[in-house]
Amino acid sequence: MNPTEEPVHGAGPGRRGGGSRRRAARLAAVQALYQLELNPGLGADGVVREFANHRLGREIDGNDYGDADATLFAEIVRGVVADRDRLDEAIAASLTEEWPLARLETILRLLLEAGAFEIVHRRDIPPRVTLSEYVGLAHAFFEGKQPGLANGVLDHLARTLRPAEM
């Protein structure tokens, strides 16, 4: 499987084990960002409201959305939408010419954007924690090389943007 292939069938909230409120928030944020890709007219605030009112803390169709940190969830979704151009530039600089940002599968790109958002804007969260969390999410969505790609890109971003903490 390469980075442009679709995610593992059945991956997502039901596949994650255990998990903290922040992990649930990160997972839900990636899913909400995907929903925005499919329905951009909803807007960041609309998707945040929809998830907060109907998904977070619930089980839907066998998918457990868990007790998520609603504040972190909303911050990631709104922050990625507001700062997407800058985040995409940083991600693109971490990719090879053979695998530009536009070639990545949508879920992988969104996962990288959410991780990049935390590295850039959440100085209170150690970059190694962010890296670990998003690589774990990549494993929940993908089999194959995507988790390694996520690890490489986010590690590069963290070492570039927050070298003293790495």
> Residue 135 CB: number of other CB atoms within 10 A?
20
CA–CA distance, 72 with 129 (Å, rounded to integer): 14
pLDDT tens digit sequence for 106-120: 999 999 999 999 999
Q: Do 78 and 116 sit in the same domain of this protein?
A: no
My answer on whether 71 and 148 are in the same domain is: no
User: Is position 157 within any domain?
Assistant: yes
Return d(Cα 79, Cα 122) in angstroms, integer.
Answer: 10
The residue among 82, 117, 135 that closes a domain is 82
The boundaries of the domain holding residue 49 are 19-82
DSSP state of 8: P
Given a cut of 90, whether residue 59 has pLDDT beyond it is no
Claim to verify: residue 105 and residue 158 sit in the same structural domain: yes
Of the three residues 82, 111, 132, the one that is the final residue of a domain is 82
- Is 38 part of any domain? yes
Residue 75 lies in a domain: yes
Residues 43 and 63 in one domain: yes
Quick check: is 4 in a domain? no
Q: Is the pLDDT of residue 37 over 60?
A: yes
What is the tally of structural domains in the chain? 2
Distance (Å, whole) CA 62 – CA 48: 21
User: Where does the pLDDT of residue 139 fall: very low under 50, low under 70, confident under 90, or very high at 90 and above?
Assistant: very high
